[in-house]
Amino acid sequence: KSGFVSIVGRPNVGKSTFLNRVVGQKIAIMSDKAQTTRNKIQGIYTTKEEQIIFIDTPGIHKPRHRLGDFMVDSALSSFKGVEVILLMVNATEKRGPGDNFIIEKLKDSSTPVFLVINKIDEVHPDKLFAIIEDYKTTMDYAEIVPISAKEGNNVQTLLAQVKKYL
């Protein structure tokens, strides 16, 4: 089995830390101008049974310029070719405008969206429960998976969940 997975989330939620943990093979970022608004392969997770290709979707953030709008639209259309979208959020911070902007863009997507709540090593289980309840009010997530990209907690579980959708 193989498939494409997009990781989205505002800066500092831990996307790069997660990728560094799961991805063995990294692909150099292309600097070709024609590629700048297209998805970039960030890395490939490979086992005997499956291959998950993680891609970056530039432009999923609140645009400050008209060009920004174009970038967002471009990123949104690129979601159509992926099996799963991972929306990563930070368990140590309240849901904010940056998260809400992305959720607004994802909520009508026909692609399954996982809510990945990262940095659980820093929060009390009660707080994690409250975060999950809060996010559940925003849209229907295919899966909700709390992880610690830094410590590795639940990362294998997340990958196992992704595999079900390939």
Where does this chain bind ligand GDP (CB under 6 A)? 9, 11-17, 118-119, 121-122, 148-150
User: Which lies closer to Mg ion via its Cβ, residue 16 or residue 92?
Assistant: 16
Report the nearest approach of Mg ion to the CB of residue 27 (Å): 15
Terminal Cα-to-Cα distance of the chain (whole angstroms): 6
143-146/51-56 β-pairing: unpaired
Q: Which residue is nearest to ligand GDP (CB)?
A: 14
CB 57 to Mg ion: min, Å? 12
Nearest to 83 by CA among 108, 46, 113, 104: 113
Any idea which residue has 């979707």 for tokens? 57
Choice from 2, 9, 13, 16 touching Mg ion (CB under 5 A): 16
User: Which of 9, 6, 139, 118 is closest to 61 using CA atoms?
Assistant: 9
Give residues in contact with Mg ion (CB under 5 A).
15-16
